[in-house]
Structure 1
Amino acid sequence: MIRKTSQTPPIIIAHRGASGYRPEHTLAAYQLAIDLGADYIEPDLVISKDGVLIARHENEISQTTDIAEHPEFAHLKTTKIIDGEIKTGWFTEDLTLAEIKTLTAEERIPEIRPQNTDYHGILPIPTLQEIIDLAQKYNVGIYPETKHPSYFQSIGLPLELPLLTALQEVKISVFIQSFEVSNLQEISQKTDILLVQLINHTGQPYDFTVNGNTNTYQDMIQPLGLKKIAEYAQAIGVNKNLIIPSNINNKIQSPTSLIKNAHAEDLLVHAWTFRNENNFLPVDFHNNPQQEYKLFFELGLDGVFSDFPDTAFTARGDR
């Protein structure tokens, strides 16, 4: 049994680093997250043409790097279908690591976080190994997500083997997360690392779509679905609306029984994503994001994904 006791504080997972303060998935964002009290730093993993895992929100990188300003890569702009969606831009799997290292990170939502644009042109794209080295230096955990695993498998660049190879010798705490199911089931046969089934409030895992499985994320949070998840994973990472829904007016509603039901299967429950800006908060918590954390902590949540780990840290201390 791995479920925490009532005395164990919920963990703070720095969502893509301290991404409220620095462009996401940069060593600067991860370093600041560590400085602000995060227990884990969270890289989303995609892969380069030569098989190196790097941290980006998506494999299409026109929104999170300055690649459009690099004429030497203009010929690589293309259109692909990724998990059923048409995407146009530049893709990590078409660039070598050396080429990716010539790029710098850019703020993904500059209209909401204009202060982060001050770092444009400065911060390189980190590899998984660089993130591991940083985490081990400060003895914090890492919480990597495999992005689009079925897609990368289909083009001969699977994420799982290089991820497990990179984690073989680490001495820090690790969770591996995925929105897909089959790759977590595969990983569970090869490692004792704790696994996290990610669950959104709509849709279904993309590998279900590929395989003709009609089950949805809503099916997965039912008692039978949670029992199945517990066969290969130790935690669920859920859209926070599955725990405390909001109505059409963005006001919070009564909590669901998801935490209780998951704990009944000895599954930890981590929720995403907690942010300070009113754009992302229910109206009940506008200008007071600490209260949102406190409400979730009172319900027995085991961990939060936060863009502002200092706010989460303060709220956890006040609970």
Structure 2
Amino acid sequence: MSEDWLKQPLFIQCYAPTSLIYISNMTNSPKLLLIDETTVRTQDTNQSYSEITSNGYLKFIREYVTGIGPWKDTIVPPENNHLGPPTDLVARAHALNLQVHPYTFRNENQFLHFNFHQDPYAEYEYWLGKIGVDGLFTDFTGSLHKYQEWTAPHQPNEEECRGTPA
């Protein structure tokens, strides 16, 4: 990602592909196509989200968006609140140079799959480390920020760089 892109003040996210196409020439802000459960139909085109996650549609929409924001259970479908095998959605999106930012990560036990033992940090590690998503949407920004602090490479501060005075 370029430094200019990182300075963007917002992401525009939308479930309606035609709305993202419509605004694509109006702003340089990064746009993400949100993806619901795959059997749900889009509000504007009446296509299923299964159809708009096809390789052909992803190739088409990448002209208008920076990435996709799928519901996390469409990437790793659970069974009885345990994670199942991951789909190939992340790999296919990355192959087309699309970022993947799944949603919605929550700290409450009812939203954490049993695999994470009620630990939202373990969930972040799984998604960012093992699944390889580029970002994620959370209702608990404080815990995600803490995770980022804990896992970021150590950056020496100015005092450490100067060393001990002689």
TM-score of the two chains, using structure 2 as the length reference: 0.80
- State the AA in 2 paired with 1:318: T
2:106 alignment partner in structure 1: 275
2:109–2:118 CA contact under 8 A, matched in 1 = yes
1:280, distance to aligned residue in structure 2 (A): 0.9
1:306, distance to aligned residue in structure 2 (A): 0.9
Give the counterpart of 1:318 among 142, 147, 151.
151
Asked whether 1:291 is paired with 2:127, we answer no
SS in 1 for 2:104: strand
Asked whether 1:246 is paired with 2:78, we answer yes
- State the AA in 2 paired with 1:222: S
1:216 alignment partner in structure 2: 48
2:8–2:29 CA contact under 8 A, matched in 1 = no
Asked whether 1:236 is paired with 2:68, we answer yes
1:195 alignment partner in structure 2: 31
1:252, distance to aligned residue in structure 2 (A): 0.3
Q: Which has the higher strand share?
A: 1
Asked whether 1:179 is paired with 2:15, we answer yes
SS in 2 for 1:266: coil
1:310, distance to aligned residue in structure 2 (A): 2.0
SS in 2 for 1:304: coil
Q: Percent identity?
A: 36
1:251–1:284 CA contact under 8 A, matched in 2 = yes
TM-score of the two chains, using structure 1 as the length reference: 0.43
User: Could you say if the C-alpha distance between residues 185 and 172 of structure 1 is closer, same or farther in structure 2, counting changes exceeding 3 Å?
Assistant: closer
SS in 2 for 1:208: coil
**Separation in 2, partners of 1:271, 1:174:** 16
Gap runs ≥5 in structure 2: 153-166
**Separation in 2, partners of 1:295, 1:255:** 11
- State the AA in 1 paired with 2:43: Y
1:281, distance to aligned residue in structure 2 (A): 1.3
Asked whether 1:264 is paired with 2:100, we answer no
Counting only pairs closer than 5 Å after superposition, residues 138-153 of structure 1 correspond to structure 2 as none
1:313, distance to aligned residue in structure 2 (A): 2.1
* CA RMSD in angstroms, aligned pairs only: 2.0
Higher relative contact order (CA 8 A, sep 6+): 1
SS in 2 for 1:236: strand
**Separation in 1, partners of 2:119, 2:30:** 33
**Separation in 2, partners of 1:286, 1:309:** 20
1:234, distance to aligned residue in structure 2 (A): 1.1
- State the AA in 1 paired with 2:72: K
**Separation in 2, partners of 1:193, 1:204:** 26
Gap runs ≥5 in structure 1: 5-140, 142-170, 210-214
**Separation in 2, partners of 1:177, 1:310:** 21
Number of paired residues? 146
